[in-house]
A and B are shown apart, each in its own frame.
Chain A
Amino acid sequence: MNEPMLWNRNCPIPIAADAERISLAHGEGARLSRRLISEIILPRFAATANRRFADAAIVTTIGCRLAICTDSHTVSPMFFPGGDLGSLSVYGTVNDLAVTGAYPRWLTMSLIIEEGLPIAILERILDSAGHAARECKVTIVAGDTKVVPRGAADGLFINTSGVGEMMDPVPPGPQSILVGDKILVSGPIGRHGIAVMSARESFAFDPAPLSDSGSVIHAVASLRNSVGEHLRTIRDATRGGVSAVLHEWAMECGHTFALTESRIPVTDEVRGACELLGLDPLYVANEGTIIVAVASRFAEIAVTALRHVPGCEQAVIIGEVQSRGISPVTIRRTIGSAQPLDEPSGAPLPRIC
């Protein structure tokens, strides 16, 4: 890693000591800028990107409805057990498209790099993003880089926008949820938030809890193929976790979501970490786990279909929709009666004290 000579060989700008780090010059549109794109960025997306990191891409015209979305990604630390900022920036946007009912096709990627970021780090992040894009079969068609002065960003921010083709049948959305519908999750919850928090605050858990960061394309496709028109809505339960999604849905449909704690899948690692930190996994973020609302009669079929998808073996019904009661979201824990489950407020802080 400490080989500044590598850069000095051809580079007209004398940047000796800073060579293996991003400098402001990398963002100034000159030669260094071009080299950042052609030598560092593009090779990583060889199989997926157009030949240029274009300002604008022209893509095939297709006679169907398109979904478009955009999402900016930042995570501290940039590398966490089970993932990193690079793959996260691809999965995040791909998943937003997928849960809308689209088949993700194209991404654009915009990098905001803090001056001083080691190039080796940037390379690892981009490698990972390229890998994720290939896995999801999306093409990164256009992009942009900006280098900002030290302190103006936290290492690296990545914005990705995505375009996908809508696939029929399209889930109509949360306002279509009916009393009696079932709520499913595609796997154990809370893994991403616990993984990142453990890494960030150096809680030194062993084994380090792994993030669920990944694509939900296959999970959504299996639902579409098995119970297509009986799906109400699908969401990836990111920030605020399952609780945040259900509260949003409850606002839209006006019903109550009734959960049963004993049915909610949680890994032993997340369970242990949550007990120790005084957190509730229902409020903790996921990055590759979806919540599904589906007509009651088709819930078991949906579960069976999901369980055939790698990574979704623990898909399960966790609750059902009832007419509006004491609270938009309720949960049955130890004692029989349903308790209100409040909306998350702020990021969960360890309740140690």
Chain B
Amino acid sequence: MKFIDEFRDPALATELVRRIRATAQQPRVLMEVCGGQTHSLLRHGIDVELQGIVELIHGPGCPVCVTDISAIDLAQQLASLPGVVLASFGDMLRVPASQGSLLTARTAGANVMMVYSPVDAVRHAQRHPEQQVVFFAVGFETTAPATALAVLQAHQLGLENFSLLVSHVRVQPAMEALMQAPDNRVQGFLAAGHVCSITGYDAYDDFAQRYRVPVVVTGFEPVDLLQGILECVTQLESGTAEVRNTYGRSVTRFGNPAAQRVVETVYEIDDRAWRGFGVISAGGYKLRDQYETFDAPRRFGLTRSTETNDSATAQRCRAGEVLSGRLKPCDCPEFGMACTPDSPLGAPMVSSEGACAAWFRYHRGSKL
């Protein structure tokens, strides 16, 4: 497939690994922000290849993993209301919350539907006027245009049986939170390529300067990732801390204005609770007032409870430390014991992009 296969070229990848080895004078700690990058790094064994040279901390970029338990609980409540169909992405359905996952809820009779796209959920609502379709809108800036577009379409169609449970998160505020943590170890960031396709990377200049940390916009194929790592390592060796774009085929400095317009029409920035992080200021989106009729909790008269976070499982799960790079998944006492992809204790074990699941999948026993 064009624009994929070229960037999985073994010869290029091998050469880039060689260059990274030649450049790095000392071990470096980088964070790949996006879960898609984590998945690809582990799938292609890049982390093993760079062992001892570059430590890759798997960042918070799996939106399924950072979705707060209270939001999932709310989704389950919605799904068990008569006449309601709750739709969301495949991975979201497996995330455990206080009362099990949405998939377990489905087994118990709740109406839960997996969709590939939020606009498919709109179409479903259009075809089934007898159902109330609620889309559980999770994801980063990359996904917000899709859910915002779903709202715009439902609005134009005058659909009264479509609404959203919005739990979108924004990446940069989370990166700020990481850098401000007293025990931060991250020396450089591989910024999330597809987030930047939407937002651009102009806003990172100030971030890189303030924290004196290189930020390299990076794609998802092995060659992309290695290029981003090489750029980061090169900067660290020369003592610079700049923003660079190594994913030029899909990212420009100012991003995609059409997509930004769609998002800004529907959403405004809001504070948001992140699982494992707590409330991050400006860390998410919410529906603007003129679209509040599409707000599912409002439509069904529900409110988020705030007390579910200290449930027993949530206490045992060390997701917060893992996602902020302070704990390796394999050092969590539950890892591979009580917590496996078959019965995940915490969210990072659920999504295959989740830091713990990825680690389990690709090198369960070995401690890197």
B114 touches A339 (CB 8 A): no
Find residues 206-226 in chain B having any chain A CB closer than 8 Å to their own CB. Answer: 222-223
What separation, in Å, do the CA atoms of A245 and B230 have in the docked complex?
38
B contact residues around A66 at 8 Å (CB): none
Option from A201, A275, A353 in Cβ contact (under 8 Å) with B1: A275
Option from B39, B115, B363 in Cβ contact (under 8 Å) with A340: B363
Q: Does residue A346 face the partner (Cβ distance < 8 Å to B)? A: yes
Of B45, B49, B340, most buried by chain A (CB within 10 Å of CB) is B45
What separation, in Å, do the CA atoms of A233 and B364 have in the docked complex?
28
A contact residues around B117 at 8 Å (CB): 352
B contact residues around A272 at 8 Å (CB): 1
A353 touches B138 (CB 8 A): yes
What separation, in Å, do the CA atoms of A340 and B365 have in the docked complex?
11
What separation, in Å, do the CA atoms of A203 and B363 have in the docked complex?
32
Find residues 311-368 in chain B having any chain A CB closer than 8 Å to their own CB. Answer: 340-342, 351-353, 360-364, 366
A350 touches B114 (CB 8 A): yes
What separation, in Å, do the CA atoms of A346 and B352 have in the docked complex?
12
| A-binding segment of B88-96, B181-189, B232-240, B288-296 | B88-96
What separation, in Å, do the CA atoms of A346 and B363 have in the docked complex?
18
What separation, in Å, do the CA atoms of A203 and B123 have in the docked complex?
12
The number of chain B residues with a CB under 8 A from chain A is: 47
A contact residues around B138 at 8 Å (CB): 353
Option from A338, A339, A345, A353 in Cβ contact (under 8 Å) with B90: A353
Query: Which chain A residue has the least Cβ–Cβ distance from B352?
Result: A351
Option from A202, A203, A351 in Cβ contact (under 8 Å) with B351: A351
Q: Closest Cβ of chain A: how far from B228's Cβ, in Å?
A: 15
Query: Which chain A residue has the least Cβ–Cβ distance from B64?
Result: A353
Option from B8, B42, B93 in Cβ contact (under 8 Å) with A349: B93
Q: Closest Cβ of chain A: how far from B345's Cβ, in Å?
A: 14
Find residues 188-209 in chain A having any chain B CB closer than 8 Å to their own CB. Answer: 201-203
A337 touches B89 (CB 8 A): no
Contact with B along A319-336 (1 / 0, CB 8 A): 000000010000001111
Query: Which chain A residue has the least Cβ–Cβ distance from B353?
Result: A351
Q: Closest Cβ of chain B: how far from A327's Cβ, in Å?
A: 8
Q: Does residue B46 face the partner (Cβ distance < 8 Å to A)? A: yes
Option from B1, B64, B115, B222 in Cβ contact (under 8 Å) with A335: B222
Given contacts A334-B10, A335-B13, A335-B49, contact A352 B91 (CB under 8 A): yes
Given contacts A271-B1, A335-B44, contact A350 B49 (CB under 8 A): no
Since A203-B116, A353-B64, A353-B143 are in contact, a sample of 9 more A-B pairs with Cβ atoms closer than 8 Å, ordered by chain A residue number, is A201-B116, A334-B222, A335-B10, A335-B49, A335-B222, A337-B45, A352-B90, A352-B91, A353-B138
Q: List 22 A-B contacts (CB under 8 A).
A: A202-B120, A272-B1, A275-B4, A333-B8, A333-B44, A333-B45, A335-B14, A342-B361, A342-B364, A345-B340, A345-B342, A346-B342, A349-B90, A349-B91, A349-B93, A349-B114, A350-B89, A350-B90, A351-B90, A353-B64, A353-B90, A353-B139
Report which B residues bind A (CB closer than 8 A). Answer: 1, 4, 8-10, 13-14, 17, 39, 42-46, 48-49, 63-64, 88-94, 114-117, 120, 138-139, 143, 222-223, 340-342, 351-353, 360-364, 366
Closest 5 A/B residue pairs (Cβ): A353-B89, A349-B90, A350-B90, A345-B341, A339-B45
